[in-house]
Amino acid sequence: MERLQARLHRPPGLAGLACCDARGEHVLDLTARSWVDPAHLVAAATLAHAHAAADLPLRVLSPRGADPHHYAGRMHLGRVLDALGVQHDLPTGVLERDRRADLLEVRPVGSEDDARALASLVATKLRADSAPASDVLYSCVAEMALNVADHAGAVGYVAAQTLPQVGAIKFAVADAGLGLRATLAARGATSDDEAVQMALSGRSRLDTPGRGTGLPTTLRELSALEGSLFLLSGEAAVTASGSGRVREPVEAPFPGTLVQGVLRLPGWRPGAVGRAG
Amino acid sequence: MPTLVLPSMVAGRDLADALVERLAGDLTGTAVVVDCRRLVSASPSFAAQLVLRVLVDRRAGSLHVEHAPAAFRTYLQQAARRIGVTDRLHVSAREPASA
């Protein structure tokens, strides 16, 4: 449990999620991953989707460890890769006896309808445990998934997970679309780092009043529940929380945008067994 | 009065556009009512677009949001501040459920 606590707000190391060109073949090598976050799942699905869309062959290598290997399969990454025609060695027939903690397996989002449906699904699953957390999760997942439909011009992926041992939720949304720098270039962004900071501060590509509120509101709501938000676009990454923003090293530049949010379930106490509430 | 009844979960600008589109006729100067009795969860982008469409684009005189959950109330008020229409937005809170 201490390891889980320590990892809760740690940025997801994305080493292995850069496509390496191994003898003419693109490979996503997850073999060295000792744990897998929703961020890793949606990043892998997004990169696989981009390869499939460009008709580029790709092979995904599953984590070697039994737990992350099994988890990635249980969260349907293997099925998503199958549907994209991407080679992989992830399990696809994982026994799913207890999936209560898997709020949302890897799912595509390409429209506002998709974004609403997925946000409703996770919020409804969580509602019995914590109504306040359910409301925040609905708002955050909806806003981040809506950004994919609204700005990215691409299909994205969403996943969410309950961490009952530490009373927390993690969700992630990724797309291989324009990326924040291209999206905010007309607003003066000249680097990935500048674009990430501008997006967190509420700058939008559009002049319409009230635009650009998704990320700042998501950050505020996550912070109110002792949470944090990790934002990666291109070569820039930031972890933001109520105590400020921290620039993170980028192990693998991401060709689009990836967000991972963490929030605590209100009222959860250490030692509680199972889910909060 | 023109009235919108919101479903249990609302998110996104397209949905706000579609719901406001249902309000027929010229809204200029009228009072528009939004009934939130069924609403459970909402997103800030929906709230911002609702305020923008009703009070700016359709030029309603006022927007009266009734039985609003706390988070939705906050989103509406923040949007109205950014758009500059706080004097035309009236939000009544949902009463706490009785035991």
pLDDT above 50: residue A232:
yes
- Cα–Cα distance for residue pair A114/A120, rounded to 1 Å: 10
pLDDT for A152 equals: 57
Q: Which residues of B touch A116 (CB under 8 A)?
A: 9, 11-12, 15
pLDDT (mean) for A108-119: 93
| Among the partner residues B9, B14, B79, nearest to A210 by beta-carbon distance | B79
Interface test with B, best of A130, A148, A206, A217 (most B CBs within 10 A): A217
Query: What's the whole-number average pLDDT of chain A?
Result: 87
> Do residue B43 and residue A112 have CB atoms under 8 angstroms apart?
no
User: Which residues 67-86 of B have a C-beta within 8 angstroms of A?
Assistant: 69, 71, 75, 78-79, 82-84
> Do residue A146 and residue B11 have CB atoms under 8 angstroms apart?
yes
Q: Name B46's Cβ contacts closer than 8 Å, sequence gap at least 6.
A: B10, B11, B12, B13, B15, B16, B75
A120-153 b/e with 16+ CB inside 10 Å = b?
bbbbebbbebbbbbbbbbbbbbbbbbbbbbbbbe
> Do residue A210 and residue B52 have CB atoms under 8 angstroms apart?
yes
Contact, B80 vs B86, CB < 8 A? Answer: yes
- Cα–Cα distance for residue pair A148/A243, rounded to 1 Å: 27
pLDDT tens-digit profile of A42-91? 999 999 999 999 999 999 999 999 999 999 999 999 999 999 999 999 99
pLDDT above 90: residue A147:
no
Q: How many other C-beta atoms lie within 10 A of the C-beta of residue A193? A: 19
- Tell me if ipTM is over 0.85: yes
pLDDT for A273 equals: 41
Query: What's the whole-number average pLDDT of chain B?
Result: 94
Look up residue A227 and give its two tokens: 């949470």
pLDDT for A227 equals: 94
Q: Which residues of A touch B75 (CB under 8 A)?
A: 217
| Among the partner residues A134, A149, A150, nearest to B41 by beta-carbon distance | A134
Q: B3-93: which CATH architecture?
A: 2-Layer Sandwich (3.30)
Query: Helix (H, G, I), strand (E, B), or coil: what is residue A189?
Result: coil
pLDDT above 80: residue A94:
no
pLDDT for B76 equals: 97
Percent over 70 (pLDDT), chain B: 96
Look up residue A221 and give its two tokens: 């709501």
Q: Using alpha carbons, list the distances in angstroms from residue A237 to A125, A152, A222, B32.
A: 30, 18, 18, 43
Pick the CATH number of A2-264 from 3.40.50.300, 3.40.640.10, 3.40.30.10, 3.30.565.10: 3.30.565.10
pLDDT for B40 equals: 95
pLDDT tens-digit profile of A161-203? 999 888 999 999 999 888 899 889 888 889 999 999 999 988 8
pLDDT for A276 equals: 35
- Cα–Cα distance for residue pair A223/B9, rounded to 1 Å: 23
Instruction: Give the gap in angstroms from C-alpha B30 to the nearest C-alpha of chain A.
Output: 22
- Cα–Cα distance for residue pair A80/A88, rounded to 1 Å: 10
Contact, A144 vs A218, CB < 8 A? Answer: yes
pLDDT above 80: residue A261:
yes
Q: Which residues of B touch A138 (CB under 8 A)?
A: 9, 11, 41-43
Look up residue A104 and give its two tokens: 């949302």
Percent over 70 (pLDDT), chain A: 88
| Among the partner residues B14, B45, B71, nearest to A135 by beta-carbon distance | B71
Among A204-208, A218-222, B64-68, which is the least confidently predicted range?
A: A204-208
pLDDT above 80: residue A93:
no
How confident is residue A98, by pLDDT bands cut at 50, 70 and 90? low
pLDDT for A266 equals: 85
pTM: 0.90
H-assigned helices in A54-173: 66-74, 77-84, 112-127, 131-147
B45 inside 8 A of chain A by CB: yes
pLDDT for B99 equals: 46
